[in-house]
């Protein structure tokens, strides 16, 4: 028998035996990777479902907000159209800011938050010399003015 044949015959079972734990470990690692991949795929599917639900909810809220911003003619007497929106200007019953906000909500509206100078000028013509409350505040953070109606940053502050 040649020397190289002798070594391969004797070494074969030894190498096979030495590689057995490595092969077993590789198989275990492969199972773990497959299991983790399946778990990640399930999590990804769940997250996609949740994201789709969030997007759908946001779209519904955007449609509702668009309807609110369109301000269809209110059923409550006393509202008047100024520009493209309807306003109720209270001249008699003086309230605190909170009281005025509650009264507006009971009428189905919010304290006014002017959208531009033109709208402000039109409303000023209807006001008496008195104090009127606006639906913009900075309760959360000093200097960050937010619309009470939308919760978004106020876009027009030149009042």
pLDDT one-digit tens code per residue, 38-76: 999 999 999 999 999 999 998 888 778 767 766 555 566
Contact call for residues 145 and 113 (beta carbons, < 8 A): no
What is the average pLDDT value for the chain, to the nearest integer?
Answer: 83
| pLDDT band (50, 70, 90) for residue 143 | confident
Predicted confidence at residue 1, as pLDDT, reads 45
Pick the range with the lowest mean pLDDT from 6-10, 31-35, 146-150: 6-10
pTM of the model: 0.48
Instruction: Report in angstroms the alpha-carbon separations of 117 from 41, 82, 110, 120.
Output: 53, 13, 19, 5
Of all residues in the chain, the percent with pLDDT exceeding 90 is: 23
Residue 71: CB atoms within 10 A of its CB come to 15
Region 136-145: mean pLDDT is 81
């Amino acid at each position: 028998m040649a020397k190289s044949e002798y070594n391969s015959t004797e070494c074969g079972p030894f190498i096979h035996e030495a590689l057995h734990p490595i092969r077993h470990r590789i198989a275990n690692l492969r199972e773990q990777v497959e299991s983790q991949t399946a778990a990640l795929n399930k999590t990804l599917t769940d997250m996609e479902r949740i994201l789709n639900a969030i997007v759908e909810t946001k779209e519904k809220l955007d449609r509702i907000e668009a309807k609110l911003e369109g301000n269809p003619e209110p059923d409550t007497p006393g509202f008047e159209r100024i520009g493209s929106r309807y306003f109720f200007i209270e001249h008699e019953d003086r309230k605190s800011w909170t009281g005025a906000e509650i009264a507006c909500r009971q009428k189905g509206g919010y304290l006014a938050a002017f959208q531009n100078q033109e709208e402000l000028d039109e409303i000023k013509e209807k006001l008496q010399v008195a104090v009127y409350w606006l639906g913009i505040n900075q309760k959360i953070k000093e200097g960050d003015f937010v619309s009470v109606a939308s919760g978004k940053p106020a876009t027009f502050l030149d009042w």
